[in-house]
Chains A and B, each alone.
Chain A
């Protein structure tokens, strides 16, 4: 019997099987941010175990509230900063160099096919786009990861999602993943790896694959996974060219992580997206999705473009193409938060930031901020936000606020019209 990618990664990283069904794996990357790490640091200090298993395998960033907004967030940032200095963590990203973790760390080339990755952040599943097993964990798992370089998981079952057809104009990776979540439900993939396959995924950029894998957790999934191919090699080439003589050699090596043809899946889902319309969520759960045509005209107060889901350069390009030469509606305010400094400066160079600012967007520094209602765009009670983020839970972006999840294109069209709008008329 063949193995899935996840099974291959588990087999190659196995440290212990303390009980049947529980696998303790060694970790290639442990990622840390300032919200969930400080309590782990404080606990390690209290235990007299302020150590790290390997400072080269720990990556840290201040991203959720940055620059700090008050004494408490400044204290969290300081705890992470002091700890990174104390342990000489080279890959620590502070103000001026910091961005949303799940956009920043891939951009730095930290994730490779076959890796095991954890972070105290549920959207860690994003990194499966590189053919890695990447799982969000809590602070205790993170603490053990920092100290020992291991984490325990249940043996993963995999749902294979074959995405057939071709993406119609105005339909993007965000619409595909909203469609998948709508089909599976918010717990349809609990304790499962979601393996994204098929011609639509193969044609996607790494950025789009990250958008796809990013929202695996919204169906309950442990990790998203895409097969590492020539697109993956091209993206990683600046970081791996010393390891391989040619791109072909890298690709041949990456392919060892591909699921075997005779691998056993928990479930196989076949979707044809050729007829898919842009999608928008309508309720307080990410599986409550409708075609934009059924939601058009719904009023919004704020448009938010950013986050680990859709704050990357290709997202900004799509939105800017729609916004070019236009103004946002007078009844809305619009916020753009490029996900990393590199994305921000690339967008500046391409003239995209001018387009957003001329349209009436406020452009903020890279941060998670508004997505989880912490800073830089929190909603008032009763307000509605059209957002390119990943969660529409009640109060997520501010107590009593409502969030409609959508693609960058749909958010741009919505900003222009001031109500939820179909992006296809602008393409």
Chain B
């Protein structure tokens, strides 16, 4: 199983698409590691720098609705994975991106809007970080001397994929 949690990168916009996460011109790379420098390269968002320290240090992303829409490219979860970001918390996900995350043993965690709003209240703190416990289905955000814990829903299948480390191993044993 992958490890989850650490410094948070806040991306305060809905409908962040997979072209913004990893532009198509980099889909010619043959290894996941080669994608690493291009994370979120085409995302234009006030205060966001794809090459900045916050992006480099991030282990968790918090965003809004319909995260990962557009192309089916698994390069989107992979570019997060090779940058040590293993969890994305959002109000909702596009289906293919969400499944790609779980298929890689990563976590795409959905929370209702009011809880996402509560997480974004930590966006102003330079030290915001999150602990994620997929088995217990809880996450705890800390920052600015404050702390909040939320429980989340995850389908039993998606949880099994995280625990198995991904879909290939799971399917290979079972089918």
Contacts and interface: CB of A to CB of B under 8 A. Distances in A.
B66 A393 contact: no
Given A36-B73, A186-B66, A22 B155 contact: yes
A47 B166 CA distance: 14
Contact of A399 (B23, B74, B77, B167): B23
A141 interface: yes
24 contacts: A19-B160, A20-B156, A70-B28, A72-B30, A75-B30, A136-B72, A137-B72, A137-B96, A138-B96, A140-B74, A140-B166, A141-B99, A141-B103, A144-B172, A147-B171, A147-B172, A152-B157, A186-B66, A190-B66, A374-B24, A391-B70, A391-B71, A394-B19, A399-B23
B65 A15 contact: no
Interface residues of A, number: 57
A259 interface: no
Interface of B: 15, 17, 19-20, 23-25, 27-32, 42, 44, 65-66, 69-74, 77, 92-96, 99-100, 103-104, 155-157, 160, 166-168, 171-172, 174-175
Nearest to B34: A72
Question: Which one of B70, B95, B96, B103 has the highest number of Cβ atoms from chain A below 10 Å of its Cβ?
Answer: B95
What are the 9 closest A-B residue pairs judged by CB atoms, nearest first?
Answer: A138-B74, A138-B100, A140-B103, A187-B66, A22-B157, A19-B156, A72-B28, A372-B24, A122-B72
B172 A49 contact: yes
Nearest to A396: B19
A121 B19 CA distance: 13
A74 to B, nearest CB: 10
A18 B157 contact: yes
A36 B156 CA distance: 27
Contact of A220 (B19, B23, B69): B69
Contact of B25 (A15, A186, A373): A373
A410 interface: no
A134 B161 CA distance: 23
B74 A187 contact: no
A308 to B, nearest CB: 13
Interface string A1-37: 0000000000000011011111010000000000110
Given A64-B27, A140-B100, 12 more contacts: A65-B28, A120-B74, A137-B96, A137-B99, A148-B172, A152-B171, A186-B66, A187-B65, A220-B94, A372-B19, A373-B24, A395-B23
Nearest to A287: B15
Interface stretch (A38-46, A168-176, A325-333): A38-46
B66 A220 contact: yes
A396 B168 CA distance: 30
Contacts of A42: 30
A190 B65 CA distance: 11
Nearest to A222: B95
Contacts of A120: 72, 74
A138 B103 contact: yes
Nearest to A390: B70
